[in-house]
């Protein structure tokens, strides 16, 4: 095994992505989820209803 494995914060995970990008993807997904929940709470509509009004 690599000696620098534990020293590095950017190790390759078992899915083929890197730790930094996984953390970034998780944060982006969490922010998107919060925005969707707040949007639905304030408009009292589901996300599909909101998107369908923009399409039509």
Per the structure, the count of domains in the chain is 1
- Cα 54 → chain centroid: 24
The whole-angstrom separation of Cα 3 and Cα 49 is 54
Q: Using 50, 70 and 90 to split pLDDT, how confident is the model at 21? A: confident
19 within 8 A of 9, measured Cβ to Cβ = yes
Cβ(20)–Cβ(9) below 8 Å: yes
Q: What is the mean pLDDT of residues 31-36?
A: 94
Q: Nearest 5 degrees, angle CA 56-CA 46-CA 23?
A: 110
Reported pTM: 0.58
pLDDT band for position 53 (50/70/90)? confident
Residue 45 lies in a domain: yes
Q: Is residue 10 part of a domain?
A: no
Residue 26 domain-assigned (yes or no)? yes
Structural domain boundaries, residue 40: 19-55
- Tell me, yes or no, whether 12 lies in a domain: no
Per the domain annotation, does 28 fall within a domain? yes
Q: Specify if 47 maps to a domain.
A: yes
């Amino acid at each position: 095994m690599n000696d620098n494995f534990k020293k590095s914060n950017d190790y390759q995970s078992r899915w083929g992505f890197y730790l930094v990008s996984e953390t970034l993807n998780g944060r982006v997904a969490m922010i998107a989820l919060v925005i969707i929940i707040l949007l639905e709470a304030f408009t009292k509509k589901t996300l599909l209803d909101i998107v369908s009004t923009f399409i039509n």
